[in-house]
Copies of this chain bind each other. A is one copy, B any other.
Amino acid sequence: MSAVRDRLQQFLAFGSLIAIFLFFSIASSSFLNYSNVTSILFSTVVIGLLALGTTFVIITSGIDLSIGTGMTLCAVMSGVLIVNTGLPVWLGVLGTILFGGLIGFVNGFNVSFLGIPPFIATLAMMLVAQGLALVISDSTPIYFNDEPGYIAISTGHLLGVDFPNAVLVLAVATVIAAVVLNRTILGRYTYSIGSNEEATALSGISVRKWKLAIYTLAGLFTGLAGVMISARLASAQPGTGIGYELQAIAAVVIGGTSLAGGKGSIVGTLIGALIISVLNNGLQIMSIPQEWQNVILGAVILVAVYADMARKRSSTV
């Protein structure tokens, strides 16, 4: 009983998510129904995937600014592989995810072997990916309209009843991320490096190699996000991507992962991402004038995090 409560309280903003959800359910009759809830989940997919990957990086006390445009570059790559080159969908998807891994690998190399601060290394990658997406695509969207199998990855209904596959993908990815972070040696070292990098190194662990692995892993999620967004839009849009990184990082941080490293959880990240999309959806459903939406969004995020922190503080000390 109390163990369960303890586990829940670990996740900084869990109570707030519930509160926000309840508020909208009461405030608007259009909020709480099957199709709106699935559409909230659906709209969480891309940010959610990016946030999952970047949770690892942030727990090592790094940061990844390249996920937004990196995702776009992956989407373009997917277009090149599947539409332009004509690879079968499954192979193209695999290739795209691996390409995402490559982006992460380069970030990881720059951070751990060249010793560039993560902010700069991934900022540089953000710019490079943005440019390359335009160069490779010739600044033109690549359309997947002739690849229904690809589009179905996002909007198909494996589980029937209007439950889009994209949500399934997010769910599976979340489980994988949680298992990797909590149950594997990679996850354990992620926390160790973030807690005390020097102590970890002096414990005989090859911190550089593990960091490389962690950034590469984050890159795989970027690749998957690239697949999911291009499948949803049935096109790779080379000019987009900027801004997604901030939203994903925000989801991670709202979910209780500390930018100082060493602390964080996958469930927290998912909750953070959900808080953002529930708020966006609820405010729109309630037809709040848009210029006020941001004001309210900001205030609610502040209150949500504060309330959960206060609750946590009072219950443990």
* Interchain CB contact under 8 A, A295 and B121: no
* Minimum C-beta distance from A105 to chain B (A): 15
When A110-B302, A114-B306, A115-B309 are in contact, do A294 and B120 touch as well, CB less than 8 Å?
Answer: no
A286 interface residue (CB < 8 Å to B):
no
* Minimum C-beta distance from A317 to chain B (A): 12
A134 interface residue (CB < 8 Å to B):
yes
* Interchain CB contact under 8 A, B291 and A123: no
A131 interface residue (CB < 8 Å to B):
yes
Partner of A298, one of B124, B249, B298: B124
Closest to A261 in B: B260
CA distance A37 to B207 in the complex (A): 44
CA distance A313 to B295 in the complex (A): 46
A297 interface residue (CB < 8 Å to B):
yes
A299 interface residue (CB < 8 Å to B):
yes
User: A residues touching B (Cβ–Cβ < 8 Å)?
Assistant: 61, 63, 65, 110, 114-117, 119-121, 123-128, 130-132, 134-135, 139, 242-243, 246, 249-250, 253-254, 258-260, 290-299, 301-302, 305-306, 309, 313
Contacts A131-B292, A242-B243 known; list 18 others, CB within 8 Å.
A65-B246, A110-B306, A114-B306, A115-B309, A115-B313, A116-B305, A117-B253, A117-B258, A117-B259, A119-B259, A120-B302, A120-B305, A124-B298, A126-B298, A127-B297, A127-B298, A128-B295, A132-B295
